[in-house]
A = this chain, B = another copy of it.
Amino acid sequence: MPRKADRKTVIKTPDIRTVAAVAKVSIATVSRTINGSPLVSERLSKRVWQAIKQLNYFPNTHARTLVSGRSRLLGIIVENITNPFFPELIQSFEEIAVANGYEILVSSSNSDPEVLTNCVRRMLERKVEGVAVMTFGEEEPILDQLTHRNVPIVLAEFKLDDPKASTILLDYSTGIHAAVNHLAALGHTKIAFFAGPHKLHSAITRENDFRTAMQAAGLAIEKHWIIECNHTLKGGVAGYAQLKNFPVRPTAIVCSNDMIAIGVLRAAYMEGLHVPKDLSVIGLDDIDFAEFTLPPLTTIRLSRIDLARAAFEALRQQAEDPGDPHMQREFLVSTSLVVRGSTSTPRPKDSAGLSA
């Protein structure tokens, strides 16, 4: 045992036996007391709790997990912890989990399948009881590692045909329609869409919803104005640069996420364009930052709290009532438009100052 002792007066970490000895009961009684078994008499229970307090004891999770088969650990895998959307999501997820006696293991896959494989494996080793896969991506192949081992998973936006998998459907449609209608009502007709990378399901869904919304609003789509970007600030800047290649420019841009939108804000500023007078910009997510951009960003809100709640709920159900036939397997999270300062009517003379 190389890990403790050697220094004198090192207090041995109290274990269940220590508590039992101090309380003068069996370890079974200590265990029952801790786990709130109704079988323990009040007299003994009191003695046990007192011993616990006195020794500042708490149970060893690993031992507990080993014997009970329940780790009370939930995994959450995000695409990129550096996009503010995800920390906000993680924070909500953690709060809910902790409030329900679970803990979480966080990993970001950085859209790298190899990293993802590693995450999954480490989570499996830690015997997580469920994993929320919030990558919005295309990584299903690896995920059956999880479902094959009977680990519940919940995916955003993607239905996996497996009894252990649930899905959170994101109703982008409502928000995107609202956004397009908002723009149309302001008098915009030339609207671009900065899409996310096509390898993400969410990006494709968002783009499709945009197309549908445009059609519904009776607006034509200029194919050069649908631009694929990374979901990052730099992606927005790069997308904006592409726009310059075409002689006619849009008066408004709807972006697949807020980071792109903020990149666009920046690029437009650098070019000397005024947002919203010269160009209206709409984001998607409503990250905390969106309220503080210059100008404040009009955006489609996707509630992290709702998403986190749905993810937790899906996992908890599967973990606690694995056989339940009435289990809810699909959850819906909706979106809504938040109008701030980055949208307005276009300049009177339609594309004034906007041609390349």
**Chain A residues engaging chain B, CB cutoff 8 angstroms:** 1, 3-4, 6, 10-11, 13, 56, 58-63, 65-66, 69-71, 81-82, 84, 86-88, 90-91, 94, 98, 103-108, 118, 121-122, 124-127, 145, 148-150, 233, 262-263, 265-266, 269, 288-289, 291-295, 322-323
The chain B residue with its CB closest to the CB of A4 is: B150
Q: Whose C-beta in chain B lies nearest to the C-beta of A86?
A: B87
In the complex, residue of chain B having the shortest beta-carbon distance to the beta carbon of A104:
B106
**Cα(A149)–Cα(B15), bound, Å:** 13
Closest chain B CB from A306 CB (angstroms): 17
Question: With a CB–CB cut-off of 8 A, which chain B residues contact A59?
Answer: 125
Evaluate whether A126 and B103 lie within 8 angstroms (CB atoms) in the complex, with A66-B60, A70-B3, A294-B269 already known: yes
Whether B82 contacts A288 by the Cβ 8 Å rule is yes
Interface contacts beyond A61-B62, A103-B126: sample of 10 additional A-B pairs, CB < 8 Å, sorted by A: A4-B69, A58-B125, A62-B71, A82-B84, A82-B88, A84-B87, A105-B105, A263-B292, A266-B294, A293-B294
**Contacts A70-B3, A108-B91 given; does A61 touch B125 at CB 8 Å:** yes
Query: With a CB–CB cut-off of 8 A, which chain B residues contact A233?
Result: 288-289, 291-292
Tell me whether B105 and A118 are in contact (CB under 8 A): no
Within 8 Å CB of A88, what residues of B? Answer: 82
Q: Please, which residue of chain B has its CB at the minimum distance from the CB of A84?
A: B84
Closest to A263 in B: B292
Counted per complex, copies of this chain come to: 2
A-B contact pairs, 25 of them (CB 8 A): A3-B69, A3-B70, A6-B323, A10-B150, A13-B149, A61-B125, A62-B62, A62-B66, A62-B71, A62-B126, A81-B91, A82-B84, A82-B87, A82-B88, A82-B288, A87-B87, A104-B106, A105-B105, A106-B106, A233-B291, A233-B292, A262-B292, A263-B292, A266-B294, A289-B289
Distance of A285 from chain B, by nearest CB (Å): 14
Closest chain B residue to A88, Cβ basis: B82
CB-CB < 8 A to A105: which residues of B? 103, 105
Chain B positions within 8 Å of A291 at CB level: 233
**A291 to B266 Cα, complex, angstroms:** 10
Cα distance, A150 to B12, chains bound together (Å): 10
Which chain B residue shows the least CB distance to A233?
Answer: B292
Q: Contact check, A125 vs B60: say whether CB atoms are below 8 A apart.
A: yes
Contacts of A292 in B (CB 8 A): 233, 262-263, 266
**Chain B residues, CB < 8 A from A265:** 294
In the bound complex, CA of A62 to CA of B125 (Å): 8
Chain B residues in 8 Å Cβ range of A294: 265-266, 269, 293-294
User: A62 to chain B: which residues have CB within 8 Å?
Assistant: 61-63, 65-66, 71, 126-127
